[in-house]
Amino acid sequence: MLELAALLARAERYVGLQGGGMDQAASLCGAKGHALRIDFRPLRVTPVPVPEGWRWVVASSLARAKKAGAAGEPYNERRAQCAEALERLGRASWLEVVVADEAEFASIVAGARRSLPPTLWRRFRHVATEGRRVIEAEAALRREDMAAFGTLMNASHASLRDDFGVSTEALDEIVEVALDAGAAGARLTGAGFGGCAIALCRASRAEDVMAALRERFYAPRGGVGDAALFVASTSDGATVTC
């Protein structure tokens, strides 16, 4: 499955989108009852149990993020900006930055701020801090700390909005409504420029979060069907059956 996921990621790049392969790995390597930590170069997948009682509310922004269309150019632009920032700093890989100890990481970030132009600095800061948030999120998930995980989701969304520049007003509104309704955390999901946001909450609060989204986000836009707002379930990856 990992080999096929890597091949599918290469196929996406073949048609012009410089994607990273997360979607392909998640679709093929899913494990029921688990979230996935996905690492690259080489591609690796680590299933992490999702605590009982955690729920993930998925809400569409009602805007399609067409990575094979209008969203493709800004997506590829950010990929190129990240690569340029890393090259200017003389770093061999993002992993080298992300796993640095606290003192070294602070030094790297300070050096990046001094030497990179503003846009490249923001792109660098997003990727560097997001990578560390992934590590922290896995730890929070394993110790069943929803508050910590939610805080990381909120920080991730702020970084995607302010440093990476891929959020939209609709996605920001979904996040705000979900948090007001009692979600522990919320962020856009996927590449941004439209698509969906996801909110984490207790099972007992899921309907409250969905009701608030129906009333405050979807009702002014003409309502919504179940395909645009739902509670996600973990599942095994795609398989072929005969």
Q: Which two tokens stand for residue 3?
A: 């080999």
Active site residues: 23
User: CA 175, CA 203: separation in Å to the nearest integer?
Assistant: 18
- Name the phi and psi angles at 2, rounded to 5: -65, -40
Yes or no: say if 63 and 194 are a contact pair by the CB < 8 Å rule: yes
Yes or no: say if 75 and 67 are a contact pair by the CB < 8 Å rule: yes
Yes or no: say if 173 and 217 are a contact pair by the CB < 8 Å rule: yes
Residue with tokens 């080489």: 42
Give 41-110 as a DSSP string.
Answer: TTTEEEEEEPPTTEEEEEEE-S----TTTTTHHHHHHHHHHHHHHHHHTT-S-HHHHHTS-HHHHHHHHH
Q: What is the dihedral of CA 169, 24, 231, 162, to 10 degrees?
A: -20
Amino acid in the structure at residue 221: R
**Residue 231 region, left (φ>0) first, then alpha (ψ -120 to 50), else beta?**
beta
**In 3-state terms, what secondary structure has residue 187?**
strand
Q: Which two tokens stand for residue 169?
A: 């007003």
